[in-house]
């Protein structure tokens, strides 16, 4: 499969489903069935088994033709975390059942990992999954900081199935039906006034064993695929030069010369260089990703993204002086996505504070980089071989 073959497939799709004449969902379904959703996925699962790098060819052709996309910001957890995990560990039945509506956006996904007592130490999670007499699992526990739980149809979930073994060994990975009557979603209001996050209470939630990903007790290994892809999804997004937050700040700088000072100019130049370095590092990471599964290197991209976002938003507020202190609306809302570009500087400044927490705290990511990328000695872990039920909590 080469670029010419892909362009031919795109043109055939556009001829059969003219974007201006067909329903958006019909077009997206046809695109998936043509193997043009994610070209590196296997045949029959929205792909063609082609190199990942060729996806840019498809996207450019469809964008030029005015074709609709699947609103990836709204379904980012499904695209960036659930789909790679399902592809790697799911059965053929699971892959065909979930991947198509996931990609088209018909079914939104969320992630039920973190808990009140298991955030940075995720393997300490206490949510229990116990087998019942009907061949299913009954899940009880609480999850927290769950984006999109209020709109999700499905959730990727890790739960403890064996408390008698060390904490990393007794975890199993499931797909949870968010419409189960035992699932209760409550909003968590943030510093921004919004409630994009949620806490989720699970009470005797039934999960068929057919909705398990990977073997029983192998959930931590499966979760590493999710977490590595999450970091790449957050910190490795493709952006043009001077795209994203640095573009917003640079535009203000050019259009408002009365705000400039020599000291701010020097700092802006450093931020611009840092943004470009991060962009190029992300491009290199995507090239590595094209050759296989993401590894711990993605932690560096996510760490750099969080640091730069907080620096740029603070700089923007300082640049705008008293204008930067304004805030348009503190009404409690439950948005479907985070929109950094569509709000004012004050919102961006407050929302960026979460970037060093979500998707793995910056402190944990530094440990990952030190131990798994640089090969430095690991921190002492006295609980590594202790059964989970004997740990103090």
Answer yes or no: are the C-beta atoms of 148 and 178 closer than 8 Å.
no
Q: Give the separation between CA 248 and CA 238, rounded to whole angstroms.
A: 17
297 contact partners, CB below 8 Å, separation of at least 6: 285, 288, 373
Length of the chain in residues, anyone?
393
230 is catalytic: yes
Q: Give the separation between CA 42 and CA 51, rounded to whole angstroms.
A: 11
* From 230, 242, 323, 379, active-site residue: 230
CA atoms within 13 A on the CB side of 153: 10
Helix (H) or strand (E) segment spanning residue 201: strand 197-208
Q: Give the separation between CA 254 and CA 249, rounded to whole angstroms.
A: 9
Answer yes or no: are the C-beta atoms of 110 and 152 closer than 8 Å.
yes
235 contact partners, CB below 8 Å, separation of at least 6: 282, 298, 300, 301, 302, 303, 304, 305, 306
Q: Among candidates 221, 223, 315, 201, which has minimal Cα distance to 268?
A: 315
Q: Which residues are catalytically annotated?
A: 230
């Amino acid at each position: 499969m080469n670029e010419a073959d892909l362009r031919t497939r795109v043109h055939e799709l556009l001829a059969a489903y003219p974007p201006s004449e067909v329903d958006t969902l019909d077009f997206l379904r046809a695109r998936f069935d043509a193997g043009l959703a994610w070209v590196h996925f296997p045949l029959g699962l929205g792909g063609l088994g082609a190199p990942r790098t060729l996806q840019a060819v498809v996207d450019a052709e469809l964008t030029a033709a005015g074709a609709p996309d699947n609103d990836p910001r709204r379904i980012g957890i499904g695209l960036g975390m659930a789909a790679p995990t399902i592809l790697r560990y799911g059965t053929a039945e699971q892959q065909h059942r979930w991947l198509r509506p996931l990609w088209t956006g018909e079914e939104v996904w969320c992630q039920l990992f973190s808990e009140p007592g298991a955030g940075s130490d995720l393997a300490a999670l206490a949510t229990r999954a116990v087998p019942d007499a009907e061949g299913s699992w009954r899940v009880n526990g609480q999850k927290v900081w769950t984006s999109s739980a209020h709109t999700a149809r499905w959730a990727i979930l890790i739960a403890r199935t064996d408390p008698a073994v060390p904490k990393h060994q007794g975890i199993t990975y499931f797909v949870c039906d968010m419409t189960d009557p035992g699932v209760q979603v409550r909003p968590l209001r943030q510093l921004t006034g919004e409630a994009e996050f949620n806490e989720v209470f699970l009470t005797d939630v039934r999960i068929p064993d057919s909705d398990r990903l990977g073997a029983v007790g192998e959930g931590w290994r499966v979760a590493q695929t999710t977490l590595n892809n999450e970091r790449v999804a957050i910190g490795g997004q493709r952006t043009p030069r001077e795209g994203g937050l640095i573009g917003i700040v640079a535009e203000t700088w050019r259009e408002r010369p009365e705000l400039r000072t020599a000291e701010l100019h020097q700092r802006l130049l450093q931020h611009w260089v840092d943004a470009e370095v991060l962009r190029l590092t992300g491009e290199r990471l995507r090239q590595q990703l094209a050759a296989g599964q993401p590894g711990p290197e993605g932690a560096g991209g996510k760490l750099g993204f969080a640091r730069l976002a907080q620096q740029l938003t603070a700089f923007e507020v300082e640049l705008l002086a008293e204008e930067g202190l304004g805030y348009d609306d503190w009404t409690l809302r439950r948005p479907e996505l985070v929109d950094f570009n569509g709000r004012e500087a004050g919102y961006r400044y407050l929302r960026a504070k979460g970037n060093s927490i979500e998707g793995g705290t910056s402190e944990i990511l530094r440990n990952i980089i030190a131990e798994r990328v640089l090969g430095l000695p690991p921190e002492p872990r006295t609980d590594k071989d202790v059964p989970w039920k004997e740990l103090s909590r």
